[in-house]
Structure 1
Amino acid sequence: MWSFSLWALLPPVYSVLTAAGLWLVYFVAVYDQQIAPLGSKYRRRNGSLYPPYISIAGNSPPASCIFSEVMNLSAFVAFIIAVLRFFQLRQRMDKQWLNFCSLVAFSIGCFGMTLVGNFQLFSDEMIHNFGTVMTFGLGTLYCWVQSFITLRVNLRNEGRKAGILRFLLSGCITLCMIPYFSLMAQGLHMQAAQCQWALVMFFLAFFGTFAIEFRYNSFSIVCTEYSVGRSEGRSEGRSEGLSDEPRYQPDQPDQL
C-alpha cells in the first residue's frame, strides 16, 4: 500500500519529462549544427552557428517539431497542476482573490508557452517574443505568489520548510532572469543562453516541489445529472466538478 497519494508523482514527473524534452531539442539542434554547444567559445559570424537559446534550438526542423510538442504538452500539464493547486487551497485560504488571481495569471502564462512553441522565432519573432514575456513574466509572478501562499496556509505544518525552498527557487529564477535580458542586450549571447537554460530548469524544479502538498490529497472528477423537469429544482445523480477532499486525516500525517 502506498503511504501517500499518487498525485504527488505528477509534479516531479512533469518536471523531469519537460526537462528531458527540452534537452532533446538542444541535442538534436547541436547534432544538426544549428546552434553552438553550451559552454563553447562563441562569436557569431556569417555562416557560423547560432547561440544556444532554447527558442533558436527549436527553430528549425526536426528540432522544431519536437519543441512544439514539448511546449504544448508542457503548457497543458502545467495548467492542470495549477488548477489542482487552486482546488487544494480553495478551502484553506481567507484571501480567495489571491488564489484565483494566481491561477488566472499562470493560465495566461501557459497560453504564452503555446505561442513560444508554435510560432518559431525566425518565422514570427513578434508573437514568439510576446509569448516569451508572458511565460517568464507571469510564471515568475506565480512562483513568488505561491511561495507566499505556502507560508500563509502552512499545510500540515510543512509550510515553513516548503515556503523557504520555494522562496529560494523564486529568487534563483529572478536572479537568472535579470542577467539573461541584460546579457542579451549587450550581445553576450552565450552567457545569456546559459542563464536562460538555468532559468527554465529552476522553473521546472519549482513545479516539482508541489509534490510536497499533493501527497496529502486526492483529486477526482464527479459527474452529475440534473433533472430539469422537477419543480423542486432537485438534481439526480451527482454534479460535475473537482473534489479536493484530503485522503488522510489531519491528525495522522503521512510520510513519503
Structure 2
Amino acid sequence: MWWFMIGTSYLPIVLVIWSCAAFVISFSIAVLTRHVDPLVPFISDTGTLPPERCIFGLMINISAFLGVVAMYVRYKLLKTLNKRKPSINPQLNIAALACGALGCFGMCIVANFQETALAPVHDVGALLSFVMGTVYLVLQTCISFKMMPYYHSRLGYGYHAASAVCEWLVAFSFNFFFLTYIRDFQGFTINVKAELLQEPSDGSYNRL
C-alpha cells in the first residue's frame, strides 16, 4: 500500500494540492487575461474578475470544506489519543477546532464576496481567515509539542513560523501545515455508523 493511502493520510495531501492549485490556477488565468500584474499581486486580486473569479470561488469553497474535514479528523484523533494517555486539555482541542472552522468560514467569505463588490465584507472574511487560521496553527503546534514523544517526533512542526512574512506565504504556509498531519492520519480511520432511534408507529416502512 502506498504511504499516502494509509489510514486517512490522504486528506491533508488532497487539501494541500487542491488549495495550492486554486491559487496557482486563478493567478495564471488572471495574468494571462491581463487582469493583474504578474509581480506578486494580492491573492484577492487574482479572484476579482471573471473568468478567474468563478474558478477561484469554486475551488476555495471546496478547499474550505476539505479544511474543515481535515481539522475534524485531527480533533477526533487527538480526542482518541488523549483518552489513552491524557497529555492535553480537551478544551484546547475544542478551541483549536473552533478557530480552524472560523478560519475556513472566512475563506468562504473571501471567495464569495469580491473586494470590488463588497470590500468591507471581503476584508472581514480575510481578517477572520488569517487571524483564526494563524491561531489554529499556533494551538495545533502547542498540542503537538505537548503530545511528544507519546505519538510522534519533533519533525515537521516548525514550518508555520514563516507564515507572517506576507499574504502569499501565509496562505501557502497554512496549506502546507496540513502535510504535518500525514504521519498522524496514517494510523487513524473513521467509520460512519447510522442508527435508527425509533421506528414510525404507523408502520410506514412496511408499505414501502
Shift of 1:207: 1.2
Matching residue's letter, 1:225: L
Equivalent residue, structure 1, for 2:187: 216
Q: Deviations over 1:144-189 (max 9, x none)?
A: 110110111237542422xxx32x2221113x1xxxxxxxxxxxxx
Q: RMSD value over aligned CA atoms?
A: 1.8
Q: Deviations over 1:87-131 (max 9, x none)?
A: 001131441100001111111111111000000001000000000
- 1:58 is aligned, of 38, 47, 62, to 47
- 1:99 is aligned, of 93, 109, 120, to 93
Q: Deviations over 1:196-218 (max 9, x none)?
A: 22221111110121112001111
Equivalent residue, structure 2, for 1:147: 141
Q: Distance in 2 between matches of 1:150 and 1:159?
A: 9
Equivalent residue, structure 1, for 2:175: 204
Q: Distance in 1 between matches of 2:150 and 2:192?
A: 24
Equivalent residue, structure 1, for 2:29: 28
Per the normalisation by structure 2, the TM-score is 0.87
Matching residue's letter, 1:64: R
Equivalent residue, structure 2, for 1:171: 161
Equivalent residue, structure 2, for 1:239: none
Q: Distance in 1 between matches of 2:187 and 2:76?
A: 13
Q: Distance in 2 between matches of 1:114 and 1:207?
A: 18
**Is contact 1:152–1:159 with CA below 8 Å preserved after alignment?**
no
Alpha-carbon spacing, 1:157–1:89, altered in 2? closer, same or farther (3 Å): closer
Greater than 4 Å deviation, 4+ residue runs? 1-4
Per the normalisation by structure 1, the TM-score is 0.71
Q: Distance in 2 between matches of 1:203 and 1:139?
A: 7
Q: Distance in 2 between matches of 1:37 and 1:108?
A: 31
Equivalent residue, structure 2, for 1:188: none
Name structure 2 gaps, 5 residues minimum.
Answer: 201-208
The structure richer in strand per residue is 1
Q: 1:77-156 residue pairs with structure 2 within 5 A?
A: 77-91=66-80, 92=82, 93=86, 94-154=88-148
Shift of 1:136: 0.4
Name structure 1 gaps, 5 residues minimum.
Answer: 40-51, 177-194, 230-256
The structure richer in helix per residue is 2
Equivalent residue, structure 1, for 2:14: 13
Equivalent residue, structure 1, for 2:197: 226
